[in-house]
Chains A and B, each alone.
Chain A
Amino acid sequence: MTRRDALPLVAALALLAVLPFCGLPGSALNFLVTTLIIALAGLGWNVLGGFGGQYSFGHAAFFGTGAYATAVLQLRFGWNAWGGLAAGIGLGTLVGLAIGYLSFRAGLRGSYFALVTLAFAEVFRILANAADLTGGAAGLLLRLEPGLATLQFSDRRLFYLLVLAFVGAALLASRWIERSRFGAHLIAVRENEEAARALGVDALRVKLGAIALSAGITAAAGCLYVQHFLYLDAGVAYGTWISVEALLAPIVGGIGTALGPLVGALALQGLGEATKLLAGGVPGIDLVAFGACLIAVIAFAPQGVVGLVRRLRGRRPAEA
């Protein structure tokens, strides 16, 4: 990793930052906001799944906790949206630490870890669907009330930039992982936990650090989601859809690379829109494309889109 490798990252962010000021229609802006929120959730997943090799199938647990915390604190306790956002990220991180502590201390990995995270997310979903605090099955509706304190802007581009800022921060965090001792330890644990421990790596602590950071980032995505749509129910917050989106984006984009989740989210959401356009109103057709895409990536391009680009770039000088 050299300074030059940071270039695509900066370029992507700059491009995304100027895009809404080039006369994009509102629907395209909405599409970008949703895509960036999913990219953010995916960036979170990638910290644990990509760099740490621990595949979670239940990142909805963190996404939903962030979203519900933001909404409940505003609606029930009169907090402003910024406080809700901070608390949502904090709570999501704590949930991540708790789930991580229980599962990693029990030595769960691979399929078992995937299953236990999935089960935790389902427990949260059922609880949120039943509890009064979270609005039960009816869900929660945030009041439409533009203002700085409510994080609702009459110019939607401002909210878009806020989301982009979070994506930028998560990208920075991923870059830091690639270049730090923590990251080296995390990758070592992914590759071979026993060998890492022999070299003085506290594997449990490293994995806990990873799941905390991962959960925090994905929780931030949840907070922004509810601020954007102003509505939340248990199926949205803790549903399997977000667990799946959060893992699809990095895997399709390039697992364990900083830029992968962003590239993957853009590619997948673009693909989704395209299939919907082609197939008309057939429900589920975009997800069929996602699933097929996942299988194809694993079979033919295990390093995702980023890996493909790198392979092409690496080949070019040899051909020249």
Chain B
Amino acid sequence: MEGTGPIAAGRTVPRRRIRLTRGLVVALAALALLLLVVHPLGWIIFNSLHDDDTGAWSVANYTALITNRSLIAPMVNSLLLGFAVAILSVMFGVPIAWLVARTDMPGRKLVGVLVLAAFVTPSFIGATAWILLAAPNSGWLNVLARRLPGMGHALFDIYSMPGAIFVSAIYTVPYTFTIVASVLEEIAVELEDAATTLGARTLRTMWSISLPLAMPSVIAGFILSFVQGVTLFGVPAFLLVPAGIPVVTTRLAEFYQLFPPGLFASAAYCMPLLLVTAAMFSVRKRILGRRQFVTIGGKARAKRLIKLHRWRWPAFAAAMIVPMLAVVMPYVVLLLVSLSRSWGRGVSLDNLTWHWYWWALFSSGDTVRAMRNSLGYSAAAATACVILGTAVVYIVERRLVWGGRILGALASAPIIIPGVVLSVGYFAAYTHAPLNLYGTPAIMVAAFTATFLPIAYAHGGSILKGIGLELEHAARSLGAGEGRTFLAITAPLMQSGLIAGWLLVFIPIIRELSVVIFLITPQTNVMTTLIYNAKDGGAYEALCAMSVLLLLTTLIVIVLVRLLSQRLVGRRLGGWSRTALLEGVA
């Protein structure tokens, strides 16, 4: 037999080099996690045990949690908001998911796309639109209602708990919808056929086979929606603060408006929020842990859709309610107001103007800078998320080092940390020497990265699990080392999935408000914080123009990345890697 080339078997092993590369990657990942997650959280705990006035060790901040009424009321309100949002999200999300995934309802694609649009829309921008629609005096719906005979008063008051619940819920439905729909789509036809052959009718099959199979995802959707409701900052800040109803997140912000700011008290006040989210996610893990959902797939075959017959169009109308309320109406209002000289004068030709866009893009340096910052920080943070998330996933899944799972746990830990809490932690950790990053892009990118790392990590895991170990082993047995195998085989196979993953974190980052709320300076303002702060000025026309610009920017990035990934994937993987939106969040 001929020689086997330079790889000639029996060559001594450059073991040291393997160890070095591996060690370096692991050490860097561990350091990054330490700085991004452990350090800020450590400061929250440390600060929470100190007194604001004296600076001494104290548990006074914690005793205040159970004695101080002004701290208890917001907690009750937050829980109320969370439960109401979760219930509504499931009530609307599950039926829409079923209609889109399993029936012959017309316009399934349209509904799906509009729900996606609702997901992309920052909920505080939705809240802005609903202020314009349903503010008690000037809201357009109320203005219209007052013209009705026998109606002298306002019909809606968006500045209220029901108002906040309503707006939060319509932007949380996409979470439940996506999780449940993806499971309903995955359920193997065989499982349903088995019931049908035993004599079950379609609806009966749905009720006793498909829905129970999807049940874990319904519960997951409920929990995720609850956490959303509890941790949202923008919507309550817009709708509940003016009404004088405090929730935990807005109350946290108040600590920073005090003089001197109640930094240590705020740290302690983070704890109930952290506990609630942690508890919710542990419940979710328990439920999902035992019955791994999504793995109920069978062969990819065309689904048999359930015929709705004469209910097709009524179903469509019902499915469109949420998209109408969350996307169509708000967008129409945002567009119209942004194009008006003064929105109070209503819609007419002489009221039409490009002024606000002109102002935002050319006269106001702030907006352009904020847009640049938003794009730059989001892209940087999304990239960092994907790189770090993938590295940690690889370390954990391929068991490169002992204790890799600790890194995995750290990478997914921020999922239980509400944005406002993380903001508190970053403020405490990185606004004084030796790590004073206040006012730098670094602190913004770091905060964004930490918040959305769990999504990138979970997503990376699902991609890596889809790549059989054999594909890597095959390369190893042909003479490729660990690093070469990763670069030549694993990375290219993950590529299309990682691009989708990048988008999956980019979208929530660019619309994120709460995690940077305490970290911005005029120089590092992003679009979301700019819009948030502009609200106090009351210039709704400018605010709407900025919102539209933010949404347009997001949309353009989505389209560009989609095009890019399509070109990259080409024919070779055709249909090989399919990524569901929200896979990571779910």
**A-B complex is real:** no
Enumerate chain A interface residues (CB-CB to B < 8 A).
Answer: none
